[in-house]
């Protein structure tokens, strides 16, 4: 009798490659601040980003809506790599998705933000909110905590979830898993909040550097953004985050509960100066 190939492959490198192939297939948007992947316009002697290519190959190019709203391209903003700089009036908007994406969705962004500011939201005024920001604090604070929501549209969100990292202008790897009550927010690999409802909105496209109503703009910069139409498997998430930490020279932390095999795998994508396996939920 024939045995299904997938059963033979289970636990092998072939199975791992197949799983990674599925994750790559679900990477629907991949923006990276790179002069070779952008259409630039020089204004006052500075390179401005008119358009950024979608490196995922899915055609979700991000465009500035007008010449006055183009972010600046900083050639060596972080560890020798470029970043899109947003100074309170700039935004890049992807083309609309063919159909709004239901949750689960994983959004991973390498960014720095200062103050009450939006990093990423949904496409426009007719959209439902799908936001990653520093804001919606319990009380006003000059550097509020990281926050995510997929609730409401024009009014303040009914549901939101806050971590502990504040918007003080440092670079971080933000990973927001939008998945109803199973939503999670990670900062530099550390889970800062989980298990709370954030709303059930779908995502119709991305406003990068501003909220969907073009009111709360980003004060900061974005080096890279990846959007997956799935909840990333644990190993794929930590490997992707660790590879970003290595590329951008950022500290990366994981919990002590990580298995020995997972640490070995993770180490291949990291380096001694970027990988710090000492931070955990109990400290």
Q: What is the pLDDT of residue 9?
A: 52
Per the model's pLDDT, the better-predicted residue between 101 and 268 turns out to be 101
Tell me the per-residue pLDDT of 43-93, one tens digit each, with 9 for 90 and over.
999 999 999 999 999 999 999 999 999 999 999 999 999 999 999 899 999
What per-residue confidence (pLDDT) applies to 142?
87
Mean pLDDT of 243-262: 75
pTM of the model: 0.86
Structure confidence at residue 190 (pLDDT) = 95
pLDDT at 130: 98
259: left (phi over 0), alpha (psi -120 to 50) or beta: beta
Q: Is the pLDDT reported for residue 2 higher than 50?
A: no
Per-residue confidence band for 138, with pLDDT thresholds at 50, 70 and 90: low
Mean pLDDT of 240-254: 94
* Long-range CB contact pairs, 68-73, < 8 A, 24+: 70/41, 70/43, 71/209, 72/46, 72/47, 72/48, 73/33, 73/35, 73/38, 73/40, 73/47, 73/48, 73/49
**Cross-strand partners of 276:** 253
Percent of the chain exceeding pLDDT 70 equals 82
pLDDT at res. 4: 52
pLDDT tens digit string along 148-164? 999 999 888 999 999 99
Angle formed at CA 82 by CA 79 and CA 88, multiple of 5 degrees? 115
pLDDT at 283: 31
């Amino acid at each position: 009798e024939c045995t299904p190939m997938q059963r033979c492959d289970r636990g092998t490198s072939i199975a791992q490659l197949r799983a990674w192939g599925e994750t790559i297939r679900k990477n629907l948007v991949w923006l990276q601040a790179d002069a070779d992947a952008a259409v630039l316009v020089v204004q006052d002697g500075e390179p401005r980003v008119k358009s950024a290519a979608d490196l995922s190959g899915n055609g979700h190019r991000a465009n500035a809506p007008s010449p006055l709203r183009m972010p600046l391209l900083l050639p060596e903003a972080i560890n020798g790599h470029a970043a899109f700089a947003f100074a309170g009036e700039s935004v890049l908007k992807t083309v609309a998705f063919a159909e709004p994406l239901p949750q689960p969705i994983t959004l991973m962004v390498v960014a720095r933000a200062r103050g009450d500011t939006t990093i990423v939201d949904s496409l426009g005024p007719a959209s439902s909110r799908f936001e990653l920001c520093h804001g919606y604090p319990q009380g006003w604070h000059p550097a509020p905590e990281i926050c995510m929501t997929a609730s409401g549209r024009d009014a303040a969100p009914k549901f939101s979830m806050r971590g502990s990292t504040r918007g003080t202008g440092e670079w971080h790897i933000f990973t927001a898993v939008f998945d109803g009550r199973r939503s999670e927010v990670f900062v530099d690999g550390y889970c800062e909040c989980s298990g709370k409802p954030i709303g059930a909105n779908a995502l119709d496209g991305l406003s990068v550097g501003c909220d969907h109503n073009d009111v709360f703009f980003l004060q900061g910069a974005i080096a890279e953004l990846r959007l997956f139409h799935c909840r990333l498997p644990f190993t794929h998430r930590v490997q992707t985050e660790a590879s970003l930490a290595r590329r951008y020279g950022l500290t990366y932390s994981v919990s002590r509960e990580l298995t020995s095999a997972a640490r070995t795998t993770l180490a291949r994508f990291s380096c001694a100066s970027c990988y710090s396996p000492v931070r955990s939920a109990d400290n």
